[in-house]
Structure 1
Amino acid sequence: LHLPSTGKTPKPGSLSSLPLQILLYVNGIYYIFYFLATLAMIIYKSQVFSYPDDFLAPDLAVLFLMAILEMPRLYLGFRGNLTEAEVPLGLSLGLTVGSVVLCVYLLLWQTYVLWADVLLNAVLLSAYGLESGLKVTAIAAFVS
């Protein structure tokens, strides 16, 4: 990901969180894999199982809404951490809550849940949890 220049030069003793930055980067790469794998599984399930037509659209809509949320969530997380700004990091944290809700939907309430769905969503939820903890810690460091 390419972030625009903020005009701020890093100071010695910078408060930005390197673990958070690494996790955001890894989570961005993992989400691409997650999206493609989940989309492939939804297509597979719609072909192999008797997938009710009324339920295919909501499952796909949740997946695409999650992808739309992921872009600003990651961008604001990167930007907030690098510029040591609480507001973008807080907004990213708020978007993470929305992503968690959509992830839980795909884990528990989509029409068919395969073991691969459980595994993919468990990894994503774990990453969201760790990332959220690091964001709260970074915000606390920026405020103080």
Structure 2
Amino acid sequence: MPAVVNSSLTYEILMYLNSFYFGMFAVCELGMSVFKAVKLPTPGAGILLGEFSLLLFLIITEGGRIYLGRKGNLTERGLPMLLGILLTIPSALATLYFLIWQNYALRLELILCSIQLVLHATEVIISILCLVAIYRPPSTEE
């Protein structure tokens, strides 16, 4: 009997891990943003407000992505998982902003954002494998 790897279990483990990791990531990012606003010279209040609003957007987008991905995986429905994959794009772009394009990037931010992007990439690959498994016609061999 061939060993079949259940990709939905792997995806669920990744989403569960990412739900806790993103909570820690958001708290750390918020703390570092407050630190940079207080201690580092900022070019303007508009940029600071934009970074805080982008962090709020990232929290909402990532929360929705994790919720839809887990719901689609547990119910074995493809549409919520597909929407979760699509929400990965704005979430990854916002994470890239905090990694590359913001005014001051702390070393801790570089590490945390890099881990977040690796989780995104891994989850997209595994979720595509789950979608293939969901939409594959059942085998008639027994």
| TM-score when normalising by structure 1 | 0.87
The 2-side partners of 1:46 and 1:98 are apart by: 24
Larger Rg: 2
What is the correspondence of 1:17-96 to structure 2 with a 5 Å cutoff?
17-52=8-43, 53-96=45-88
What do you get for the CA RMSD once the two structures are aligned?
Answer: 1.3
Q: Deviations over 1:24-69 (max 9, x none)?
A: 0110000110001001001101111101322101111111100011
The 2-side partners of 1:51 and 1:31 are apart by: 26
The 2-side partners of 1:51 and 1:39 are apart by: 16
The 2-side partners of 1:27 and 1:55 are apart by: 28
Match 1:133 to one of 119, 125, 136: 125
Q: Is the 8 A contact 2:68 2:80 kept in 1?
A: yes
The letter for the 2-side match of 1:126 is V
The 2-side partners of 1:116 and 1:136 are apart by: 31
The letter for the 1-side match of 2:125 is G
Unaligned segments of structure 2, at least 5 residues: 137-142
| TM-score when normalising by structure 2 | 0.88
The 1-side partners of 2:131 and 2:105 are apart by: 36
What is the aligned length?
Answer: 131
Find out whether 1:113 has 2:136 as its counterpart: no
Report the identity percentage. Answer: 31
Q: CA deviation at 1:16?
A: 6.2
